[in-house]
Each structure stands twice: as structure tokens, then as C-alpha cells.
Amino acid sequence: MRVNRISISLRITLWFVSIFLLGWVSFGAAMWFNLKHTLADERYSTLSRRIDRLQDLLNKTKDENQADRYQDFKDFSHATGNGLAEIFRADGSRAFPSPSAAAKSFPWPVVPSGATERFLQVKSSDQPYWVLCRAFLLGNETVYLFVAAPATGNLLILQRFWQGLLISAPILLIVSSAGGYWLSRRALKPVDHITATAHSISIRNLSERLPVTKSGDELERLTETCNAMLARIESAVNQIKQFTGDASHELRGPLSFVRTVAEVALRNPEVDQNSQQAFRDIVEEIAKASVLLEDMLTLARADANCGDAVMEPMVLARAIEEACDMARPIAAERDLDLRLSLGTAQSTTVLGDYTSLRRLFWILLDNALKYTEAPGLVDISLSLSDEHVSVQVRDNGRGIPEADLPHIFDRFYRADPSRSQIEGSGLGLAIAKWIGDLHHTRIIVSSELNKGTVVQLLLPICVPSS
């Protein structure tokens, strides 16, 4: 299954930057071509005005002799275009001598045939030049006036414009990226609030709702839809909790009656051997069912926040020692070594309910004893840190598969078929988790198959008020 690890805000930023960059490149290219065309038009206008003045000069000097007209043409060429001007006949010969050496060596284009005007670009000594050619009637003869001007200035302007685009692109890219990310994060900030609240909602606090931002957009509609869904789920879960609690409570009476009847029957000497065994089986199974019902009622009260826990300062080691005293006969019966190590933390005080914490430790010890084969070891130790007291229950039993670790505190969850062969309701660790949450306890479980399991509890230390 392909997992998309890119956040929405980052994707929006990438799209924003891509579109901005594409728009910037398109704008820059359009401006570059527009500037190039504008500079070429400006150069054409300059050369066109120069030819107009040359035509006026030739018209004014038409009555002068050839030498004077050439001198006027030469002076004009040096004054207006650094001598880059020529007058050619239709056959390509010069009507006047070249006004300068530069004009003489310049690669003038071929005299056009039939065209009255041409504007084109040529190269001379690897430098680009604009050339304008225009037909002109000189006396009774058609000649062609040529003027040229360097295009280096235009190229320099275009080059600087292009460099400016390249230099500004990274700056604009950074600014647009930062701006796009800021805008996307601001737009999606309500999503973070929704996500945080949704993560905090569990079966214990289904009454909470997602924060609704009155923005009139899709996020508001999504939040309202999710809240409506949570309301439906809460209603359904409450019905299930009510049914579970009611059913558990109502079943206690019939079970107690059946157990009493079976125990009375066992005391009757006239009952045959087979019937006695059947009654003993009934008593045993009813005892298991009673434990299951008590566990279900405990969780039902926990779901309804109707627990009777009394939180007061208590010495944690005493609850651990009492749980160990309850577990030692079972450990001896199963040929297991149960060890207790309190260390320097035996007088540590926590704020908690003594009965609930004793039950928590008993559940952990009972699970460790159940899934450890003889001759095995179950070790419970107590240690102290700056802010927490740590209780660690370690065994060298079967262990728990890594895939099952996130689910071991779920109700009725059994890790694997081999573990399900062990007697139990599947509610013990769920109750332990509830007790831990009640005492603000962090529970850390690590396990390796066929090597054992370690359960660590971190309880906040009760600091006496001064």
C-alpha cells in the first residue's frame, strides 16, 4: 500500500510555487521578447530618420557638382553614424565613394531587387549591426541608400534584463515558497485543531466535539459532519454500555442462585458421584462467570465515570507487597520463583486509591504467572527518579508478538491461539489500563517471543504540600 508522506500544506506550497514560477518564466519571456521588439523598433526609427535626412541632403545638393555632393555626403555620414552609410546603384556599384574605411569594409547586404525598403541584421567583426536600406530616385537614376548602426547596446540591455530575471528568480522563489507555506498553514490551521481534538477523543470522552470555526467554508461543513457522526457514535456506545452494565447486573442474581443451589446439592450425602462432579463443574464455571461479570461491571462503571476510587497519599510499596502476598501461593503451586525488590523507594508516596493500585499490580502479576512456564522467574522491582516512581514487572515466559503489543489493552483481546488456552476473561489488562489512566500512569510494555515480557509503570510522585 502506497503511503503519501507529503502534507497537504507542503503540496499546496509546491503547487503555488510551481504556478508562480511558471507565471514568472512566462512573464519574463514575454517581457524579453517585447523588449527585444521595442529596441529593434527604436533602432529602425533612428535609422529611418537618418535616411530621411540623407534624402533631404541629396535633394538640396542636387544642383551642386559631384565633388561637393560627395563631401556633403561624407560629412553627413561622419556626423550621424560614424561613417556607416553608403549609396549603391542597382548593379551594386557605389554612386559615391565610401565615406569612411569602416563603410568600405562593412559587409553591406546585396542590393535588393524590387524592394523599396529592407531592415535586417548583419555581423561585422563578430559584432551585430542593424542595416536599413531604402530606394531613392537620384536624378533620373534609382539608387539605394544604406545606413547602419551597432546592435551591441540592444544586446547589452537584453542581457542585463535576462540577468535580472535570473537573479530575481531565486529571491522570488524563496519569498513565494515562504508566503505559500504561511498561507497554506494559516488556511489549514483549523485542520490541526480538528486533528488534535480528534486524537484526544476516545471511548472514554465521546462527549467531546471538534472545534467549529464559523468560516462558512468546507472545513466548517466537515467539522459539523464529524461532530454529527461523533454524536451518533456516542449514542450507540452509550446504549451498548447501558446494555452491558444492565445485563451484567441482572445476571449476578441468577448466577448467585445457581451457585448456591449447586453448593447445597454438593453437601447432600445422597447425591451420587456423577452428580457431585457435575455440581462441582457448575460451581467452578459460575465462579469464572462471576469474575467475568465483575470485570464487566468494573469497566462499565469506568466508562460511566462512576468509579468509587478515593485518591489519597499512600505508600506504594505496601500495595505491591500485598499483591505479591496474594500471588505467592500461585507461584509456589506452579513452581515459579517470585521475587520482590523495593530498594530505596520502599517509602515512596503516591496519590492514589490503595485498592485500585493493588488490583493493578495483581493483574500484572497474575498475567506474568499465567504465561511463564516452570521453572520460571517473575520479578517485580521498584525504583525512583526525579519525578516518577517506576514499577517494573519482568518475566521470562512466552512473550508477546510485536504485532499484538498495541492491542493487549483492548477488551477481550487475546494475543494468539496458544495464549487463549490460558484461562481468563480478556478484560484484566483493560482494567489495568483504566486504573493506570485514573492514576496518570504511563504503562510501557516490551516483549520478545520465548524470552519474556517487561511491563513498566511510571507513576507521579506525591509531593507533600509545604
CA separation (Å) from 288 to 41, 54, 245, 283?
101, 120, 18, 9
The reported pLDDT for the residue numbered 229 is: 86
By the 8 A CB rule, do 147 and 51 touch?
yes
The reported pLDDT for the residue numbered 228 is: 87
CATH superfamily for domain 312-460: Histidine kinase-like ATPase, C-terminal domain (3.30.565.10)
Angle, alpha carbons 316-317-323 (nearest 5°): 100
The interaxial angle of helices 8-60 and 66-81, nearest 10 deg, is 160
Q: What is the mean pLDDT of each run of 10 residues along the chain (466 residues)?
A: 62 80 85 89 91 90 86 88 87 89 89 82 89 89 91 84 82 80 77 77 74 76 84 78 66 73 77 80 78 69 66 90 92 91 85 90 90 90 86 90 86 60 69 88 91 91 65
The reported pLDDT for the residue numbered 1 is: 41
Alpha helix segments (H runs only) across 304-370: 316-333, 354-370
Strands 336-341 and 376-384: parallel
Return phi, psi of residue 448, to 5°: -130, 135
Return phi, psi of residue 345, to 5°: -100, 15
The reported pLDDT for the residue numbered 246 is: 67
In sequence order, the 6+-apart residues with CB closer than 8 A to the CB of 212 are 220, 223, 224, 227
Note the pTM of the prediction, 2 decimals. 0.50
Q: How far is CA 286 from the centre of its chain?
A: 53
* Angstrom distance (rounded) from CA 447 to CA 54: 101
* Angstrom distance (rounded) from CA 31 to CA 180: 25
Contacts 24+ apart (CB under 8 A), 103-110: 103/77, 106/148, 108/146, 108/148, 109/133
The reported pLDDT for the residue numbered 446 is: 92
The reported pLDDT for the residue numbered 425 is: 62
The reported pLDDT for the residue numbered 466 is: 47
- For the chain, give every domain's residue range: 8-157, 218-303, 312-460
Specify the length of the chain in residues: 466
CA separation (Å) from 333 to 9, 63, 75, 116, 445?
61, 141, 127, 121, 27
Would you state the cell numbers that stand for residue 438, as one nine-digit string? Answer: 485514573
The reported pLDDT for the residue numbered 245 is: 63
Q: How far is CA 56 from the centre of its chain?
A: 75
The reported pLDDT for the residue numbered 91 is: 86
* Angstrom distance (rounded) from CA 352 to CA 310: 7
The reported pLDDT for the residue numbered 426 is: 72
Alpha helix segments (H runs only) across 201-272: 218-266
Residue range 8-157, CATH number: 3.30.450
Compute how many other C-beta atoms are within 10 angstroms of the C-beta atom of residue 13.
22
Would you state the cell numbers that stand for residue 73, as one nine-digit string? Answer: 555626403
Helix (H), strand (E) at residue 452: strand 452-460
What architecture is the 218-303 domain classified under in CATH?
Orthogonal Bundle (1.10)
Cell 548593379 sits on residue: 91
3-state class (DSSP) for residue 122: strand
